[in-house]
Amino acid sequence: DAKTTQPNSMESNEEEPVHLPCNHSTISGTDYIHWYRQLPSQGPEYVIHGLTSNVNNRMASLAIAEDRKSSTLILHRATLRDAAVYYCIPSRQGGKLIFGQGTELSVKP
Amino acid sequence: GAVVSQHPSRVICKSGTSVKIECRSLDFQATTMFWYRQFPKQSLMLMATSNEGSKATYEQGVEKDKFLINHASLTLSTLTVTSAHPEDSSFYICSAIARALSLTGGYTFGSGTRLTVV
């Protein structure tokens, strides 16, 4: 399982962009990079995932480094509802998702 | 989209009794389901992986006789905590993979079960 390194916590102001980094230097060539977030006392919620190319969806963008050893989750305009713990998880398609410690994002009004 | 229903959301039981938690995929067939536990202020810890019709694979350090997992159909997996003790109090979460991987990368999580053993 690839090891990940994420900041323990980050702060953002409402309406501003947020860049959440993740290092996954031991990622396998077939691993997808998944991002999930979790609110207190809830199950994780899917945010985005990608393999090599940058990805966009209605929630966020995922920028993947060319060597795939790191990635950045981009929330274009943070809202109070985006305050959560964000997890970056490399995993092969259909494989186990092993959660690291994640980044706790707080959003200030 | 893919929905996983987990029941109950909260349960309180007496020490020494057993508790069953259900995880259902409502609108898709789940070839594989995962069970996690999460202690306060900690990350999710994978307990086991279950495939429909076969025995679950437990992660190292997880007691298979204590945490019984049954995945009898493509839409239902159950976790039974046997002879529960206060240290088993935790937040249990299931996840399911769709047979056909969806736009969400295939993984959908339940909303979790808060188990309190008194």
The one-character DSSP state at A17 is: -
What b-and-e string marks burial along A55-74, b requiring 16 or more CB atoms within 10 Å of the CB?
beeeebbbbbeeebebbbbe
Mean pLDDT calculated for residue range A4-26: 97
Q: Which of A36, A38, A42 is nearest to B112 (CA)?
A: A42
Parallel/antiparallel/unpaired status of strands B10-13 and B113-117:
parallel
Among B24, B43, B102, pick the best mutation site for testing chain A contact (most A Cβ within 10 A).
B43
Contacts of A44 in chain B (CB under 8 A): 44, 93, 95, 109
Residues 49-78, chain B, touching A (beta carbon < 8 A): 49
How close does chain A come to B62, measured CA to CA in Å? 15
Q: What is the DSSP string of A35-88?
A: EEEE-TTS--EEEEEESSS-EE-SS-EEEE-TTSSEEEEEESS--GGG-EEEEE
Question: How far is residue B85's CA from residue A82's CA, in Å, rounded to a whole number?
Answer: 35
Mean pLDDT calculated for residue range B45-62: 93
- Give per-residue pLDDT as tens, B83-108: 999 999 999 999 998 766 555 667 89
A101 vs B: CB within 8 A: yes
Is the pLDDT at B61 greater than 80, yes or no? yes
Mean pLDDT of chain B: 92
Mean pLDDT of chain A: 95
Cβ within 8 Å, pair A43-B112: yes
pLDDT at residue B104, rounded to an integer: 60
